[in-house]
Structure 1
Amino acid sequence: MDIDGARIAATVQRLRHRGHATLQDRLHRVRATLVLSVQAGLAAGISWLVAHELLGSPQPVFAPISAVGTLAVSVGQRFRRTVELIVGVAVGVAVGDLLIFLLGTGPWQLSLVVTSAILLTVFAGGSVAILIQAAATAVLIVTLSPAGHNLEIPRFLDALIGGSAALLVTALLLPLNPVRVLNRAARPALDLLADQLDEAADGLRERERDKVQHSLEQLRDHKEEVASFDEAIQGAKETATLSPARWHRRNELTHYAEAADPIERAIRNASTLIRRAITLIEDAEPIPEPMPASMGHLAESVRLLRHEFAVGEEPERARERSLRAVSEAAQAYTEGVGFSGSVVVAQVRTIASDLLVASGVSQEEANRLVREAFGDLKQKKHVESEQPERKSEPPSNGG
């Protein structure tokens, strides 16, 4: 009975923890979308007010639909989305009203109108967004036409008003903080890279192949994190361009805009490093302690980069930690590594270079700093080396 009671208590505790985690996750999602929700509600109300009260549109259905549709699309594409909404509405109105005038309304007319709107949009080379909008507009035209006639221009104006209201809300009334958006979007990609480098380092230190393999599997599935980061950069640029209240943040966006590509390269190169670390363990090659330590320094460099970007500081500490990772890799190399170990060392250098570029250093300068950090330590470790070519090297300034 005691054993059963303990099992039941453990199960209840796990369920309670799972429910708490789920609740926290839901609250986090609510907080993340709170501003967007308020923006959508405000834009819908403004668009209806303008279309119905100021312009006298009797059924301004397309105004709030266009407003919400513009805001629902990914940030960074809202201006283009507004244009697509208007074009899609124009196509849907033209096709729908023409065919209704010729054929009347009914189920088969609805099918024909939607099919024709889609084919016309595809023929004209329209995007998926325009295609969907044209089809949806055609449906509304057919279903709403008995309640009103000669509404072609108001329908078109409704779409224009709705999209404009959405841009007005995002640009002037309730603009997002672009830097905060980027901080939130960059965190998953950077945390993923740092956490898996740490896990792989621990697995390498303990010669636990499965742990290193797990970190590789986690790192391989990184497309969503990187895509969210890229999308957020485009959204931040759009906000900083459209919103006068955010114009002063343009310079702060430069770091992130230039960091996206090298961060993605660092993730890919980390996958190569971890994959080779698995082979290293399988082949029972030597693992000098500085090798996993260098990977840990890379992980810490990523975290420092994220923090210094978030607080608006020059990422000096992140750069210093990247170079420490290179120095540790050099020490591991001098202590003796196998073939796979030498590849791991080379990848540490490559990732460090990627992180330096992400921090704002030029590629040429990053390569030079990595060579110095690697060569200086090798030179110090080989002051009494038996290698003839090392004896002829001049003394290092940095020791």
Structure 2
Amino acid sequence: MATKTSATLRQLKELEGQLNSRSLRVRRNFVSIVQGSLSAGIAFWFTHTLLGHERPFFAPMAAVIILGLSSGNRIRRAFELSIGCTLGIGVGDLLIHGIGSGDWQIALAVFVSLLIASFLSTSQLLINQVAVGSILIATIIPPGTSGTYERMFDAVVGCTVGLLVMAMIPQSPLAGGRREVARVLKIAQGVLADVADALAAHDAEAIHTALVEVRGSQGAINAMLLEAKSSKENAALSPLLWASKHRVRSFVRILPAVDNVVRNTRVLARRAEVLTQDGEKVSDDQIEIINELSDAVGLLAEVYLKEAPVDEAVAIPELTRKLRYLGARCTLDVAEGGVLSAQVILAQSRSIIVDLLQVCGMSRESAAAALAPTTKTPAFPPEVVEKPESD
């Protein structure tokens, strides 16, 4: 009886988690849903009511398609979509009107459309839309139901309306990007914590598991970069967001450093795996540094989570002070007498500190100057760093 009750409670908890996740997804996509709905309605109303087109199928279709495209180059893609639709409709109308509709007629129409599209452009979106336009003409909307020019014009109207609605009802320019940055940083935080624990336990298998995780982070990095393109596009397209352009530019500037945090974490984990497989060890100071790096990355991830109750104006300066102090502690003595892998782990720890300081807003030169020098002639002379009060 107790087992059944426990299983039921577990299932209810899983169901609650799924419902919360789905509700969160709907909230995050709500603006996109409103944009698509309004665009389809306005495009249809404009072409049907104002222009008198009897069956303006392509207007709402093009509006929904342009809003559903991946963010980053919607203006260029809207132009390609318009050309592709109009070209496909025109070619399809001319061919199907002359040879009729059927199996071989559709094949011929698509063949000719793709030939023309491939000759005119390398854009896969344009080429696909040419084929789709021909197929629609040959099947759903055959020639004679409305003028060819009307269908071609409807596609242009749909794309234009989609972009206008996106400009007038814009999404937050940074919410999605900040969320993706936090996601990437969370990956790095977990890997650094796992590596530190595994180095202390001399567990090569655990380090390998962490290495596999960080190697699979490219999808999250790509999503982060795509959201950055979307932020720039939204801020450029919508007059309501023009005041946010400076914030967007500042956000985009830190993304290479976030990417480097993951890359350097990957190298650190790989070298830690080699070290443990060789039966070697690192100093307790090195393990402590990696643990502190994990904590710093985790705090930075919380700062970039929109929902997190963290005062960024307070958190970033405090984190910067901690990182600068940590950089001053990363001397050659930390890995003195260690094998090459230990030296590499120290070097990667230093690189991650520089990356994180850049994410916090420092220039690369100032970030590098926070590190303890490893040569008599450092390119960026070290700065005097005081120990944070919290430590």
What is the alpha-carbon distance in structure 1 between the residues aligned to residue 335 and residue 99 of structure 2? 84
1:33-182 → structure 2 map (5 Å cutoff): 33-146=29-142, 148-149=144-145, 151-172=147-168, 174-182=169-177
- Give the match for residue 341 of structure 2: 340
SS at match of 1:370: coil
Shift of 1:240: 0.5
What is the alpha-carbon distance in structure 2 between the residues aligned to residue 350 and residue 39 of structure 1? 43
20, 29, 42: which one pairs with 2:16? 20
What is the alpha-carbon distance in structure 2 between the residues aligned to residue 317 and residue 112 of structure 1? 67
What is the alpha-carbon distance in structure 1 between the residues aligned to residue 257 and residue 327 of structure 2? 17
The verdict on how the C-alpha distance between 1:327 and 1:94 changes in structure 2, with shifts beyond 3 A counting, is same
Kindly provide the amino acid, as one letter, of the partner of residue 223 in structure 1. Answer: Q
1:1-399 → structure 2 map (5 Å cutoff): 7-146=3-142, 148-149=144-145, 151-172=147-168, 174-308=169-303, 313=313, 315-330=316-331, 333=334, 336-371=337-372, 398=385
Counterpart contact for 2:121–2:127, Cα < 8 Å: no
Counterpart contact for 1:196–1:216, Cα < 8 Å: yes
Counterpart contact for 1:178–1:235, Cα < 8 Å: yes
Aligned residue pair count = 375
> For each residue in 1:334-370, what CA deviation from the matched residue of structure 2 results, as whole angstroms up to 9, or x when unmatched?
6653321111001101111222223332222322222
Shift of 1:38: 1.5
> For each residue in 1:347-399, what CA deviation from the matched residue of structure 2 results, as whole angstroms up to 9, or x when unmatched?
10111122222333222232222245x78xxxxxxxxxxxxx9xxxxx99558
What is the alpha-carbon distance in structure 1 between the residues aligned to residue 215 and residue 102 of structure 2? 51
Counterpart contact for 1:255–1:359, Cα < 8 Å: no
Kindly provide the amino acid, as one letter, of the partner of residue 131 in structure 1. Answer: I
The verdict on how the C-alpha distance between 1:116 and 1:40 changes in structure 2, with shifts beyond 3 A counting, is same
Shift of 1:95: 1.4
What is the alpha-carbon distance in structure 1 between the residues aligned to residue 312 and residue 6 of structure 2? 45
| Bigger shift: residues 102-111 or 219-228 | 102-111
The verdict on how the C-alpha distance between 1:7 and 1:207 changes in structure 2, with shifts beyond 3 A counting, is farther
| Bigger shift: residues 200-209 or 248-257 | 200-209
| Bigger shift: residues 35-44 or 330-339 | 330-339
What is the alpha-carbon distance in structure 2 between the residues aligned to residue 336 and residue 246 of structure 1? 55
What is the alpha-carbon distance in structure 1 between the residues aligned to residue 312 and residue 147 of structure 2? 52
What is the alpha-carbon distance in structure 1 between the residues aligned to residue 158 and residue 245 of structure 2? 27
Shift of 1:158: 1.0
Shift of 1:99: 1.0
Shift of 1:289: 2.0
Counterpart contact for 2:283–2:335, Cα < 8 Å: no
SS at match of 2:139: helix
Counterpart contact for 1:255–1:358, Cα < 8 Å: no
SS at match of 1:313: helix
The verdict on how the C-alpha distance between 1:327 and 1:334 changes in structure 2, with shifts beyond 3 A counting, is farther
**TM-score of the pair, normalised by structure 1:** 0.86
Kindly provide the amino acid, as one letter, of the partner of residue 271 in structure 1. Answer: R
Shift of 1:327: 4.0
- Sequence identity percentage: 29
The verdict on how the C-alpha distance between 1:328 and 1:20 changes in structure 2, with shifts beyond 3 A counting, is farther
The verdict on how the C-alpha distance between 1:334 and 1:347 changes in structure 2, with shifts beyond 3 A counting, is closer
Kindly provide the amino acid, as one letter, of the partner of residue 313 in structure 2. Answer: E
Shift of 1:283: 2.6
Shift of 1:88: 0.4
What is the alpha-carbon distance in structure 1 between the residues aligned to residue 254 and residue 206 of structure 2? 29
What is the alpha-carbon distance in structure 2 between the residues aligned to residue 146 and residue 267 of structure 1? 54
What is the alpha-carbon distance in structure 2 between the residues aligned to residue 328 and residue 398 of structure 1? 10
What is the alpha-carbon distance in structure 2 between the residues aligned to residue 208 and residue 332 of structure 1? 24
Counterpart contact for 1:114–1:139, Cα < 8 Å: yes
- Give the match for residue 379 of structure 2: none
The verdict on how the C-alpha distance between 1:11 and 1:81 changes in structure 2, with shifts beyond 3 A counting, is same
What is the alpha-carbon distance in structure 1 between the residues aligned to residue 11 and residue 222 of structure 2? 33
Kindly provide the amino acid, as one letter, of the partner of residue 103 in structure 2. Answer: P
What is the alpha-carbon distance in structure 1 between the residues aligned to residue 129 and residue 12 of structure 2? 44
The verdict on how the C-alpha distance between 1:61 and 1:312 changes in structure 2, with shifts beyond 3 A counting, is farther
- Give the match for residue 389 of structure 2: none
Counterpart contact for 1:197–1:298, Cα < 8 Å: yes
What is the alpha-carbon distance in structure 1 between the residues aligned to residue 77 and residue 313 of structure 2? 35
What is the alpha-carbon distance in structure 2 between the residues aligned to residue 126 and residue 30 of structure 1? 35
What is the alpha-carbon distance in structure 1 between the residues aligned to residue 106 and residue 156 of structure 2? 25
> For each residue in 1:195-216, what CA deviation from the matched residue of structure 2 results, as whole angstroms up to 9, or x when unmatched?
2212222222232322222211
Shift of 1:284: 3.0
What is the alpha-carbon distance in structure 2 between the residues aligned to residue 294 and residue 327 of structure 1? 11
